[in-house]
Structures are given as C-alpha cells and as structure tokens.
Amino acid sequence: MNFVDMIIKKRDGGKLSAKEIAAFVKGVTDGSLPDYQISAFLMAVLFRGMDAEETAHLTMEMANSGSVFDLSAVAGKKADKHSTGGVADTTTLILAPLVASTGVPVVKMSGRGLGFSGGTIDKLESIPGFRVNISEQEAIAYAQKSNLVLMSQTDTLTPADRKLYALRDVTGTVDSLPLIAASIMSKKIAAGADGIVLDVKCGSGAFMKDLPSAQALAKTMADMGHHVGRKVTAVISSMAQPLGQNIGNRLEVIEAIEVLKGNVKGDLLEVSLLLGGHMLLLSERVQTVEEGISLLQKQIDNGAGLAKFRELLLQQGGDPAIIEDYGKLPLSANSVTVFAKTDGYVFAMDTASIGRASLETGAGRMVKEQQIDFGAGIVMKKRLGDVVTAGEPLAVVYSQTQAQCERAAAILSDAITIDTQPPAPTPLVLDIIS
C-alpha cells in the first residue's frame, strides 16, 4: 500500500477504508513509516477531518496496537472515567473509592500532569509509599479483592497513541477533534472498562474554551463509543474557576479526603457525585443517575467511601495514617498570602493563569521529565460571587522558595478580578451527551 496515496486521499477530503487506517497504525507502531509522512497525514486529518466511522476504526486500531487489559476475570460491569484536564480537578480520588464501595469495579489507569492540568498519578505519588506501577496480573487480583485499582498506564498499552501524541505536540496538530477523541478513547477501550464516563472541561482553564467546541468533542467520543460497542456518557463541566479549593498534589489529596469525610461541599463534590452517578448507571448498578448520586452521598455519610480509600492505600503501599494526620504528607517550606486590593465581589477568574501560578510554585511540569514539588501549590479562599473586603485573603501560595511564592502570587493576584457588581451565575454543568 502506497502511503503517499493515502496522504493525498485524505488531503483531498477522501474517506479512508478500515484497511488503510489499519496500515497507517501498523506503520506508526512498528516504525516503518517515517515521522515526516506521519506528520503530513496528521496535518491532512487536521484540515479535512474524519467521519465517525473513520474515527472509530482509528480508535480501535490504536487500542489494539499494544496489549489490551482483559478484565473478564473481575466480576460485574467495570466502570472508568476520564477528564480532559482542568485546575483543582480532584474528582478521581473521590469518585473512584465511592463507586467501588457500591460494588462496581473501578480499574483506572491515569497519567501524570503536563502543564497546569494535574495528573492523578502525581497526586497519588505524593502519598508516602503509594505504588502506582502495577502489573496487569496485580491489577486483576486487587480488583477481585477490593473492586478498586488506581495505576499508571503500562508501557505496552496503546504504543501507537504515544507516538502520535508526541508528533502532534510538535507539529501543530493537537487541535483535531478526531485525533483528540481517538487518543482518549483508545486508552479507555484498551483499559477494558464496559462503561466510560468522560468529563469534558470547558472554559478559561480548559483545552476547550467554548461550549460548541466542547460539545463537538463530547459528541465525537460518544458516537465512537456507539461504533465500538461501549457505553459512553460525556459530562461537559465548567472551568470558569478552579473546580476545588486546593491546587497541587498534596493539597488535592487532602481536599479529596475531606470530601470523603463529608466536610467539604460545593462544586468539587457536585461534579464528583454526578460523574459517579453516571458510572453507576452505565454499570447497571442503579436505574437512574439521581439514584446513583443518592447512593454515593450515602456512602460518604456512612463512611464507606473513606473506608474504601483507606483500603486502596493499604493495598498499594500508601500510609493510611495520612487520613488523620496531614502532616505526614509533604508541604513546601515557604508561603505567601494573596490579599484583595479593593472591596467588592469576586467577579471573574482567569483559571488558566491560576494554573500557571501553580506551575510557578513547582506543583506542575512543562515537560514530561521535569521533577515536581509534591508539597507546592495554592489554596484558594474565595469563589466566584463571594463578597470580599480590601486586605482579605484570596489565596495562600506554597513553594520551596520565597521567590517562587512571590512570582506565583503576582500571577494569581492578576488572575482574580474584583468588581463592585456580582457576576452573572455560571452553571457548573453545561451539557450531558450520551
């Protein structure tokens, strides 16, 4: 098969066959296609797109380019969740133990953070002793015993996606809905879940800045799920402000524990319960999302969710003493408080800038090899619409050096707008697409 002809075909708007797409993914995986031809093909897809059938074929070929988790030995319908990335998005650490505590198996592979989008694996590794590098055999054994595994992606899972992702990042072809959708869904399908809930972030602190773009991505992934025989629901949620109050690895672990203890309400809890409710519905544990939300709230109230989180820590080597003693988690040595400069209302937040401030503290990374500071980050003190007075704390910044704290604090101060009028109410959930 002449790959140049395939590039030209897609460049001219043609539809690729399943055989052609399979040949492309095979060439990417075995290294027989040079980077310049792969990059040319990616650019053609960026400009010409792919229909739902092409995207489904691409997704399945990528999913099957390496090993695929076989979870058939784990009883019941397995549920998974993926977020497109946001600021203070700690939902996995909350909803995974909650869902598992109801008897629904959750075997979730997560990644590390890149840019200001925090990674679940980094958060878990801030817990002393916690082991994220789990083999497939260990994951199945753990899931059979506890219904819950949180682990890093194995080296053999979707190797084609790793190669394509790296090339997209350096060739200006990231912003392609079929390529984004195929990247996300190939990993989720290869991970073996029966039902997949997607949290598509939308707003200033998200990759998708506006609702139509977020809806298009959500619909593409939901359609793909239909084509490959998986149940998929996409929840589009707002990133007009950080989802939780804590930004940074140690700080987000603490906030997740506080939610599971029943001490934290608000947006983080609401989104976690909604996503978890959909996971229970797709797993046929409940008949309605509302029933699922009610059950998960009950698991907070009776302590079952927190008990499952403790079981996860013991299972994977983490210190369960952190649940009662947050001093056992790392905390950076220096801090700076950001104060309101005027009286008024918190009118707007540039969430992306707040994320960049967290990067400045050392809580995130700009390149995959960068070491992060588990104890660094930001604790937000105010939400949109809150009344503030001049001199009142807006946030506290933590970092290893005073200079880092001050640089982050300056970015953070500029990212928060205070006005004499309150902002218009911002809905937290913008759409749900199944």
Q: What percent of the chain is modeled with pLDDT above 70? A: 97
Residue of 57, 112, 163, 187 with catalytic role = 187
Residue of 89, 122, 161, 373 with catalytic role = 161
The helix/strand/coil state of 160 is helix
**pLDDT score of 364 more than 90:** no
Helices (H), 89-210: 91-101, 120-125, 136-146, 159-171, 177-190
Mean pLDDT of 21-46: 96
Q: What share of the chain is helix, strand, coil (3-state, %, to 5)?
A: 45, 15, 35
Confidence of residue 315 (pLDDT cuts 50, 70, 90): very high
Put the strands of the sheet holding 106-110 in their side by side order: 148-152, 106-110, 79-83, 195-202, 231-238, 429-433
Q: In terms of DSSP bridges, do strands 231-238 and 195-202 run parallel, antiparallel, or are they unpaired?
A: parallel
Give pLDDT tens digits for 373-415.
Answer: 999 999 999 999 999 999 999 999 999 999 999 999 999 999 9
- How many Å separate Cα 332 from the centre of its chain? 24
Confidence of residue 264 (pLDDT cuts 50, 70, 90): very high
8 Å CB contact between 305 and 365: no
Closest by CA position to 385, among listed 342, 352, 417:
417
**Catalytic residue list contains 183:** yes
Give pLDDT tens digits for 334-346.
Answer: 999 999 999 999 9
DSSP assigned state of 337 = E
pLDDT of residue 28: 96
**Catalytic residue list contains 169:** no
Query: Residue 400 corresponds to which amino acid?
Result: Q
**Catalytic residue list contains 82:** yes
Mean pLDDT of 104-113: 86
Give pLDDT tens digits for 207-259.
Answer: 888 999 999 999 988 888 877 788 999 999 999 999 999 999 999 999 999 99
**Catalytic residue list contains 250:** no
d(CA 239, CA 202): 5
- Structural domains in the chain plus CATH codes: 3-49 (1.20.970.10), 79-157+170-323 (3.40.1030.10), 330-419 (3.90.1170.30)
Residue of 123, 168, 310, 365 with catalytic role = 168
DSSP assigned state of 238 = E
Q: What is the model's pTM?
A: 0.91
**Catalytic residue list contains 48:** no
Measure Cα distances from 367 to 79, 82, 112, 115, 166 in Å.
30, 21, 11, 8, 12
